[in-house]
Amino acid sequence: MSYIQGFVAAVPAANKSAYLQHAARALPLFKEFGATRVVETWGDDVPDGKVTDFKRAVQAEEDEVVAFSWFEFPSKAASDAANEKMRSDPRMQDFGTDMPFDGKRMIFGGFQSIVDETGEGTSGYADGYIVPVPTEKKETYRAIAAKAARIFKDYGATRVVEAWGDDVPDGKQTDFKRAVKARPEESIVFSFVEWPDKATRDEGWKKAMQDPRMQYDKDSMPFDGQRMVWGGFAPLLDE
C-alpha cells in the first residue's frame, strides 16, 4: 500500500489563485523527487465542530479557507528519500520565500495506508478526515474502516484511503495531535474519500447512513467521534 504525506493549511481566501500557482510550480519537483500523485483541495463544506474542527486545527482566521492536501509515494523509503531531497535542493528553498499562507500554522505528517479501496470513475470531490485512535485498537479500526470503504464504494466513491500515523511531528504552534486533542496512547489517522462530484458525495452519504451495514453500537467504536475532524473539499490540483 502507498505511503501518504498529509497536509492541512489555512489560506487567505483572496490568495486562492496564488496558492494554486504556488502548488503548480512545486508539482514538477515533487514528481521528480518520487511522488506518484499530488492532490491539493480547497475547503468547500467545512463545518464548525463542538470539540474540534478543521478551522481550529490550523487556527484559521475569518478570511481564511482550509486547504487539505496529500502526496502519495510507493513506500515509506521513497517518502523519506523525497524529504531528504526537499531539504537539500536549493529550488525548494525558493518556495519558502513567497508562500501565500502562514506556514507556521500548516500541519503535516507521514502516514502508512492501512486501507486503500479503489472504485470506478475519476475524482472530482473529496471528504477529508483526521481521527485520533487508541494505538492498541489499530486492527479494530482497520477492520471497521475497510467495511465502511466498501459501503462508500457501493454508493459511488471512487477511492477510500485510511492512513495510520507513522511520522507525525510535534509543531511549535499547530500539529495533527493538537488538531484532534490526541492523548499519549493515541495515534493519528489521516483519511480521505474521493467522489466523482459533490452531488454524488451528498447522495452517497445519505444512502450510506441509511445502510444497515453502517449501524454501529456507539460503545463499540474504536475512537472518540467527537474529536474527529472532517470536511468536504473541492479539487484544485490532482496529478
pLDDT digits (tens, 9 = 90+) for 96-135: 678 999 999 999 999 999 999 998 899 999 999 999 999 9
11 exposure class (CB count in 10 Å sphere: 0-12, 13-18, 19+): buried
- Domain with 95, as residue range(s), is 3-238
3-state SS record for 117-159: EECCCCCCEEEEEEEEEEHHHHHHHHHHHHHHHHHHHHCCCCE
Q: How many CB atoms neighbour CB 207 within 10 A?
A: 14
What distances in angstroms separate CA 122 from CA 119, 129, 194, 231, 239, one per listed residue?
9, 20, 8, 20, 12
Closest of 63, 212, 68 to residue 126, by C-alpha: 68
**pTM of this prediction?**
0.96
pLDDT band with cut points at 50, 70 and 90 for residue 94: confident
How many domains, the chain?
A: 1
Which backbone phi and psi does 118 adopt, to 5 degrees?
A: -110, 130
Structural contact between residues 72 and 239, judged by C-beta atoms closer than 8 angstroms: no
pLDDT of residue 1: 78
Return the CA Rg of the chain: 17
Question: How many angstroms separate the CA atoms of 113 and 159, rounded?
Answer: 13
Question: How many angstroms separate the CA atoms of 64 and 56, rounded?
Answer: 12
Q: Is 107 helix (H, G, I), strand (E, B) or coil?
A: strand
The CATH number linked to 27 is: 3.30.70.100
pLDDT band with cut points at 50, 70 and 90 for residue 219: confident
Q: State the average pLDDT over residues 66-88.
A: 96
Question: How many angstroms separate the CA atoms of 171 and 67, rounded?
Answer: 18
- What's the pLDDT tens digit per position in 2-12? 999 999 999 99
